[in-house]
Structure 1
Amino acid sequence: MALLDRISWPIVAVLCLTLGLAPFAPEPHLWEKLKMLAAGELRRAIDVFDLLWHALPWLLAILKGWRGLRQS
C-alpha cells in the first residue's frame, strides 16, 4: 500500500479525467461500458479489458481516498 502513498493526488486526478473518461464524445467510454455491463451486453474479452482499463484510475482514486481516511 505504500505505492498508493507515493502517487500524488494531482496525478490521480489527471488519470481520472483523461484515461478514466476518454474518449469524451459522444459519451465517456467508461459510462458506455458500464451501461453495457448493466444490460448484459459485455461479452467480448476486449470489452471487459476496456472496462477494467478505463475504471483503473477511478479505482485508484477510491483506494487512495479510503487509505487516506483510515490513516487520519
Structure 2
Amino acid sequence: MSAFIKQLEWPLLIVLCLTLGLAPFAPPHIVEKIAMLSRGELQRPLDWFDLFFHGIPWLLLAGKTVYVLLHRKPAP
C-alpha cells in the first residue's frame, strides 16, 4: 500500500480533491454526508456509496501527507 501512496502525484491528488471530493459544489456532497453520518442518518446504501466515493480523494491526500511526513529525511 505504501508503494501505491508513494507513486501518487500531488497535483493529481489536489485535482481529485477539488473536483470529485467537493462535487457538487454547493453544498459539497462530502460535507453533507459527514453531517448525515454524525446525526446517524446514513441508512441507504447510496448514501454510504456517496460517502465512500467522495471521501476517497481526501483519504488518499491524507495518506500521502502522513507518508511524506513519516518518511522525510532529517535536516543535516
Common fold: TM-score over 0.5: yes
Which residue of structure 2 aligns with residue 70 of structure 1? Answer: 70
The answer to whether structure 1 residue 10 and structure 2 residue 7 are counterparts is no
Which residue of structure 2 aligns with residue 19 of structure 1? Answer: 20
TM-score, normalised by the number of residues in structure 2:
0.90
TM-score, normalised by the number of residues in structure 1:
0.95
- Total equivalences in the alignment: 71
In structure 2, list runs of 5 or more residues that go unmatched: none
Which residue of structure 1 aligns with residue 44 of structure 2? Answer: 44
Moved over 4 A (4+): none
- Percent of matched pairs sharing the same residue: 51
In structure 1, list runs of 5 or more residues that go unmatched: none
- In the TM superposition, what is the alpha-carbon distance from 1:5 to its structure 2 partner? 1.2
RMSD of aligned C-alpha atoms? 0.6
